[in-house]
A and B are shown apart, each in its own frame.
Chain A
Amino acid sequence: MKHRFDAGDRVVVLELNKAGHIRTPYYVRNHFGTILQRCGSYLNPERLAVGDVAGPVVPLYRVAFQFGELWKDYSGNPDDVLCIEIYEHWLRAANDPTAAQTN
């Protein structure tokens, strides 16, 4: 599957309001991050969780978030980042005007 993002791209994590098994933790949703690298494409765990192994595969990215972006009161090193893998359908380009749903 074709990747929509590449290393260095600024992205926003979406709040898709999905029930069931999802791999995007609450604390990164609606936050801005930077793509660190592409991690390949995999069967969507949200579909695997209900026994659907038919695919398609979904691109996965390693995304970095500055601690201060996730926790506003963070007072440690401003360069500290949290790195986490997120599937493409949970991401939107940060410069996309329709992505303006950050808190």
Chain B
Amino acid sequence: MRGYHDIGGNEAGPIPIVELPWLHWEKQVEAIRNLLGDGTRRIMSLDELRRGFESFGEEKYKQWSFYRRRIEAMVDVLIEKGVFTREEFEKEAELLRGRWTPPVDCE
């Protein structure tokens, strides 16, 4: 049995050595991940998060970036654990989207 993410050891050609920018929202994703998994909260472990993006489907995994996978899997796991419902999440996201002005250099 081989997960769609389990591609280590495959032929992949030369490795592009380029410094990628670490975007602000990506840091926020990691900050939230750390808060959810820390010793006092223990709401979601790193292994739970990994299980999330290793099982949410190959199509999503391949089309999304590293941090997009993480935030989407985080939402899935939090819904699965009953922290909030999909409806509550989407309602809140809609509310915040209305208040949000994208910065000029936002990618």
Name A residues whose Cβ lies closer than 8 Å to a Cβ of B. Answer: 15, 17-22, 25-28, 45-46, 48-51, 53, 70-71
8 interchain pairs, CB-CB under 8 A: A21-B47, A25-B8, A26-B8, A46-B47, A48-B47, A49-B45, A49-B48, A50-B51
Contacts A20-B55, A49-B45, A51-B81 given; does A27 touch B50 at CB 8 Å: no
The 5 A-B residue pairs with the shortest CB-CB distance, nearest first, are A27-B9, A21-B51, A49-B51, A48-B47, A49-B47
Q: How far is the CA of A55 from the CA of B6 in the complex (A)?
A: 25
Rounded to whole Å, the gap between the CB of A70 and the closest CB of chain B is 7
Name B residues whose Cβ lies closer than 8 Å to a Cβ of A. Answer: 1-3, 6, 8-10, 42, 45, 47-48, 50-51, 54-55, 81
Known contacts A15-B1, A46-B47, then 19 further A-B pairs from the complex at CB < 8 Å, ordered by chain A residue: A20-B55, A21-B47, A21-B51, A21-B54, A21-B55, A25-B6, A25-B8, A26-B6, A27-B9, A27-B10, A48-B48, A49-B47, A49-B48, A49-B51, A50-B51, A51-B48, A51-B81, A53-B42, A70-B9
Interface residues of B, dominant DSSP = loop
Which B residues lie within 8 Å of A26 (CB)?
2-3, 6, 8-9
